[in-house]
Amino acid sequence: MPEEPCQCPDCQRFYREHDRLIRENPTLRQQQELSWAALQSFRTLAGRVLEDLQKTQPEADPALATAASGAAASGSADAGDPDPDAMAQALADLENINAHLFSIEALMERIFDVRVPEAVEQKFRELAGELAPDPLNADRLRLNRLLHQTPDLPG
């Protein structure tokens, strides 16, 4: 018996997004551009946040860090101030993420060097249409309507 794919809201959102990305980027070229843009935007944003946090972190100065945690303990710090340990952990995590993104970029560059003939791109389009048909396609809308018809609904 084949295993049914999970239908929890998170997975359903993932399937929808997955199919949309295929539908809207049905060629090798478009998938390359999409992945590259996603990677670069992730790197730009995460790198900038890390840079900004490192500038404002008192962590570099132990005296300041102690003063900050002392203030937190006495309750005089802003309620929005994050726990210094949690902040240090977050900075370490972000540094790791940025290092991994950098490695992924080096690997991706090789994938993105590839160009294929138009006939192969046409095969991509054809299979994209099978894997992720247009949800607004008339046949599909009719089918969905049938599938979702319940005795409770009029019509």
- Give me the residues that bind Zn ion (CB under 5 A), please: 6, 8, 11
Smallest separation, CB 20 to Zn ion (Å): 18
Nearer to Zn ion, 8 or 106 (CB): 8
Smallest separation, CB 8 to Zn ion (Å): 3
> Smallest Cα–Cα separation from 41: which of 95, 85, 101?
101
Tokens 């894997």 sit at which residue? Answer: 131
Neighbour-count burial of 101, counting CB atoms closer than 10 A to its CB (0-12 exposed, 13-18 middle, 19+ buried): middle
Nearer to Zn ion, 8 or 107 (CB): 8
Nearer to Zn ion, 11 or 38 (CB): 11
H/E element, 49: helix 28-56
Smallest separation, CB 143 to Zn ion (Å): 23
